[in-house]
Chain A
């Protein structure tokens, strides 16, 4: 090989390498007019009814604006935050489905990290939507509670969901003459009846862990209806997880996890549980309202109802539905397609489109005048005025707190290792206290 060829070959290799490593996209901050051809990159999380709705909506949007192509990506819910962060920082996305702004640091919390959404805003990745006309379509409270930071709006929230309810099998209840329970005693009695008949009382997606503790929110809520105050009480020491009031909750959680849940529930994945319930094999299913569409899809003729989990012996304490603001839309601040993104949200926020969306996914609307005209909508309508945001949306763990510092029913065997309620209550408080003490 002569020298010229050698040097040329070497330069070629280096050029190929450096080209491969260079960024393939160039972006500008200038918003493009919608008259030009635009590909709007939208990111959503996996939720089959929502994805189906969005595909239809995107098609209609493209027909209305022929120069816009919507390129929608779907990721698993657990991966949404990671993918969002990666694509926002790479300027590779325009509109993102982001969960509501929760778990903010409160003045009484010491040495806690800001939530992810706050870091994204402070790093300049989310567009300020303040003053956009489509915000007027939504409840002010929803905009303020779920999408506002430091007085500026960064997200429109698309609805709330409840996770503290019980689905029940109407046929089985009728067949065995069991009344729909409104108190904890009635729930225990109903379970005993079904179990005696060889029918598992309750199921849930125990393999994923969280469906078990989320299903028991009614037990926490019946004892601590104000969950924001509960979190403050835990941080300031006025509430302990092993005090007398909390012990009632743990005793009931033990019954829920060990007596009410069917054998084998700890191996059922979260997305398989609705199908298990719809098969008619179990009497009840502890789960969120978002499962309704999956139940209907699995067995359209199946007759079911939905009630708040009766955690107390006083029916008045069982009137609350606990839940959260669910997903919302944000626009990437560095998107070259901001105007198209705003147009997309404007179109989505039109009452007709929004109503179709909530009815497809089963969210409780955050737009006035929109009703949830589905079975789950009708089932929860009597309780909506008592809707409350749950503990998990307020709680931030102190650094150094142990892994058991939460009121989760999934710590009980077979989902976890504990059999004794008092032992577990002491462990939970000890793990929390350890973190609180470490930050003094």
Chain B
């Protein structure tokens, strides 16, 4: 057997050359824009090619974090982002695991339910938003009729900001539950059935089987899901745009970045495109994702090593 598949001499460069197109794509689509965003965060860029771009140093960061009431509003949005992340991650993770365990049973119709739970994932944010806007229409929509039957009512997305915010959490979980479920389902199906049989022979009940067999062996899926849920919810913004729009008391950081970058902060009038300032806000969000992501990754990796060796 040859030690090196591509041979000797200049052929040793072959794998690097094969990697080159992918690397170029990565630089153009991911790394390049990230570096540009960092650069633009120190400028007053508007995003209009040809318009003057001046170096403003740390002004955008100072404005975002320390200038007037707007900076305090930004910090509130930051807090709201963390709250959104907490609720979405914990509920989506738990519900996704529960649903995966249920649809992993050897029963008739599980394929139908797997499809049903996964279906929202393939819809775009606009379609997801439209479905829920119709479902939660407060003047005779299906949910309104149900609430009215019990003598209750709600304004849903048009109601008080905390209520509207809560409904976006519901939609976000509904929209992404399928991904969490499918990752858990894949994990569940890699667990050898012999382990379950052995546990049953040893007299373990269902909870003990889950606790001592399923849960530890699901560790890679747990790690993947937690990281995806945390990062996905921190970056969420499309559903806020579609379901609520720019409304005080509901913005999360991801949506705030879009709104200031594309002049959507002034009610019915388009304001200036402040893409330099939006870039600074993006970097703040990036740092938040980085801190939370790496900390979570650190603890999850440690747990994985402890359990799986």
Contact = CB atoms under 8 A, between A and B. Distances in A.
Interface of A: 3, 6, 10, 13-14, 17, 21, 78, 80-82, 85, 89, 99, 102-103, 113-116, 119-120, 122-125, 206-210, 213-214, 263-269, 276, 392-393, 396-406, 408, 411, 413-417, 430-431, 434-435, 437-438
B17 to A, nearest CB: 5
Nearest to B261: A82
Contact of B68 (A103, A119, A399, A404): A399
B48 A120 contact: yes
Given A3-B11, A116-B272, A406-B267, A82 B48 contact: no
A264 to B, nearest CB: 4
Contacts of A267: 136-139, 155-159
A416 B49 contact: no
A236 B262 CA distance: 28
A392 to B, nearest CB: 5
A10 B18 contact: yes
A103 B67 contact: no
Given A400-B67, A403-B73, A416-B248, 9 more contacts: A103-B269, A113-B272, A119-B272, A124-B50, A267-B157, A400-B68, A402-B69, A408-B267, A416-B161
Contacts of B44: 113
Contacts of A404: 248
A88 to B, nearest CB: 8
A266 B155 contact: yes
A125 B158 contact: no
Nearest to B249: A417
B57 interface: no
Contacts of B262: 81-82
B72 A402 contact: yes
Interface stretch (B21-29, B92-100, B286-294): B21-29
A399 B70 contact: yes
Contact of A119 (B46, B158, B246, B269): B46
B51 A123 contact: yes
Nearest to B29: A21
A437 B70 CA distance: 12
A207 B271 CA distance: 21
A100 to B, nearest CB: 10
B11 to A, nearest CB: 7
Given A269-B133, A414-B155, A393 B269 contact: yes
A124 B48 CA distance: 10
A268 B139 contact: yes
B263 A81 contact: yes
Interface of B: 10-11, 14, 17-18, 20-21, 24-25, 28, 44, 46-52, 63, 67-73, 133, 136-139, 144, 153, 155-161, 245-249, 262-264, 266-274
Identify the interface centre among A123, A265, A400, A416: most chain B CB within 10 Å of its CB: A400
Contacts of B267: 209-210, 213-214, 392, 406, 408
Given A264-B139, A399-B70, A401-B68, A114 B269 contact: no
A415 B25 contact: no
B51 A119 contact: yes
Contacts of B50: 89, 123-125
Q: Kindly list the 6 A-B residue pairs having the minimum CB-CB distance in the complex, ordered from nearest.
A: A400-B68, A402-B69, A266-B158, A267-B138, A434-B69, A123-B50
A210 B249 CA distance: 15
13 contacts: A21-B28, A116-B46, A116-B272, A207-B158, A209-B245, A209-B247, A264-B144, A267-B139, A400-B71, A401-B70, A402-B72, A414-B158, A435-B70
A269 B157 CA distance: 10
A215 to B, nearest CB: 11
A208 B138 contact: no
A123 to B, nearest CB: 4
Contact of A85 (B47, B68, B71): B47
A402 B269 contact: no
A103 B69 contact: no
A78 B266 CA distance: 11
Nearest to A268: B139
A438 B272 contact: no
A106 B221 CA distance: 58
Identify the interface centre among B10, B17, B248, B266: most chain A CB within 10 Å of its CB: B248
Nearest to A112: B272
A80 B156 CA distance: 28
Contact of A116 (B21, B68, B160, B270): B270
A101 to B, nearest CB: 12
A403 B46 contact: no
Contacts of B63: 399-400
Nearest to B133: A269
A431 B262 CA distance: 22
B67 A438 contact: yes
